[in-house]
Chains A and B, each alone.
Chain A
Amino acid sequence: MSYISTYCHISLNQCFVDGKQTHQFNSLSIDQFLKDLYTALSLDYPKFYKMDRLTKLAFIGTELLKKEHPEITMYNDNEIALLFGNNNSSALTDINFKESYQNGGSPSPSLFVYTLPNILLGEIAIRNKWYGENMFIVNENFDSVYFINYVNILLNKNAEAVFCGWLNVNDEMVEAFLFFVSKKDIIQLNLPFEKSKLIELYQENKL
């Protein structure tokens, strides 16, 4: 038996944790919104400003959940696995990197590094000193069956908890659904990690 201990949704100017709104902004751009959220969470982590948009989103979502529920950090450093995915890999940064070397410019090393989607897993691992299993997948849509199967596999193998994320960004939209699955129901929301529940939570707050 495993549980969705906590989860959050982030969309432009809005954040919800465990189904309840925690933040609302009137930021005029996605980048400004992510910056405003960083400020609202009183974070002091200058590396944040170097990250690309997708990584910022993953990072800030993780910090948001930790702020609401510090319990999720109470694991040994190798007990938390990271399982993230999206449908367009690092597309936004890919385009930005390509533009950096076209039309007379030079290829930007700081952009190139973020043209791998799993870099965001590295950023989360570095911030939290989490040494567990990592995997990033690319899929057309949020696949509840994939997450149910593979999270349970990791929990039965060598993880006590699996921190999952489905996130997409482009020029117009930002979407993040992060959920923390653990063997123990550490926050006691009583949300069993089952397909129907996962789909229900994924669709929550989707307008």
Chain B
Amino acid sequence: MITYIGAENIISPLGVTSQENFNKIKQAKTGIACYQEVGFGKENIYLSKFKTQTNFYDLIVSCLQAVIAESITNLIFDKKTLVIISTTKADIQENIASPILFSVNKLKQEFNLYNTPIVVSNACISGVLAMNTANNYLKAGVYENVFIIGADVISDFVLFGFQSLFAISEMPCQPFDKNRKGITLGEGAGGVLMSINKNVYKSICFEFVEGTSSNDANHISGPSRTGEGLFRSITNTLELANLNPSDIDFISAHGTGTTFNDEMEAIAFGRLKMNKIPLNSLKGYFGHTLGAAGLIEMAICIQSLRNNIAIKSLGYHHQGTSEKINVTTQNINMEINTILKTASGFGGCNASAIIRKLK
């Protein structure tokens, strides 16, 4: 049984379709800009933020509509169709009493969904984990189609929180670079359709091969020094996919731009002997969009498969990890068949997934 993936959408400050977003980042355009006096201490902060105030509900609705538009009519109403929502803080700014379920219940009514959506809220791996969950459901025959939508918006709550951890970069984030100083927050939504039927897609679709997660069992807010959880997750994913590290053409890493996270990832890739494979982080374009990150980045991975272009890792100039890894310093036109997507987050969680072109 094959799980298919496609109909990808991205809504970000760079655009409202995946093509538009891909074209912008191909030209090294970023959504990140400096916002005056928005920090807790009235600091100027770099953010990837929409020009107009955007709420969580509108984002998930627009993104779901866009994915639906790329799939066959009425698929969303099917009894064998599920919607999975990936988010961390959802509508925390406006509705702290029910930041997630208020919007999700409204979505269920608005779209007349047969099955109640499942909400994955697992820090920064939520998006990849949501796709892994969809794959598991599809391969087990529980559902036939899963729409996965990830979204998060920038709020004082999240910004002040990351400021309190001294995790916000004073400059646009520079994942894997030696001068990296932390994260840049972003907002947006990403969506894909995963299915056991190839014919539900309007455009070419791809295979979602496998995905797993693993905990570091080490620290709640700092990554493992040995990259243990990420190492284990990628190892498990490769094994279930029946692939070797050498079968991976490109890696879309998590790369937040913090000292410890990026170092941890480099160590894990080194342990896996995957440090020669071209790799990027997309956080330099979209910022860290938390629960949306996995979906937005997977949508770009799919665009990379469609266009055979590996995107440059924006903000990277000089090796900044103890383990040398192959971070892309320019867009590369290359035959890409198989991509590994990874994510890591607070709570010591790590996830990985592999997609590839259909044979």
Contacts and interface: CB of A to CB of B under 8 A. Distances in A.
B121 interface: yes
B179 interface: no
B349 interface: yes
Contacts of B89: 94, 115
A115 B346 CA distance: 10
Contact of B214 (A78, A98, A120, A128): A78
Contacts of B164: 101, 106-109, 112
Contacts of B119: 137-139
A89 B96 contact: no
Contacts of A115: 89, 157, 161
A158 interface: yes
Given A116-B88, A132-B215, A153-B137, A91 B120 contact: no
A206 interface: no
Interface stretch (B7-15, B21-29, B216-224, B309-317): B216-224
Interface string A176-191: 0000000000000000
A193 interface: no
Given A126-B217, A131-B217, A158-B240, A94 B92 contact: yes
Interface string B231-262: 01000100010000000000000000000000
Interface of B: 40, 88-89, 92, 96-101, 105, 116, 118-123, 129, 133, 136-137, 140, 142, 156-157, 160-165, 212-221, 228-229, 232, 236, 240, 345-349
B122 A135 contact: yes
Contact of A140 (B101, B162, B216, B232): B101
Contacts of A88: 98, 101
A108 B116 CA distance: 35
Contacts of A89: 99-100, 121
Contacts of A152: 140
Interface of A: 77-78, 82, 87-89, 91, 94-95, 97-98, 101, 106-109, 112-113, 115-123, 125-126, 128-140, 143, 146, 149-150, 152-154, 156-158
Given A91-B97, A139-B119, A131 B136 contact: no
Contacts of B348: 122, 125-126
Contact of B140 (A95, A101, A138, A149): A149
A77 B217 contact: yes
Main secondary structure of the interface of B (DSSP, over half): mixed
11 contacts: A89-B100, A101-B160, A107-B160, A118-B345, A122-B220, A125-B348, A126-B220, A130-B217, A136-B122, A139-B119, A140-B116
Contact of B121 (A136, A140, A157): A136
A118 B157 CA distance: 18
Given A91-B97, A149-B137, A157-B240, A135 B120 contact: yes
B136 A157 contact: yes
B232 to A, nearest CB: 6
Nearest to A152: B140
A120 to B, nearest CB: 8
Given A94-B99, A113-B221, A122-B346, 5 more contacts: A94-B157, A115-B157, A118-B347, A131-B215, A137-B118
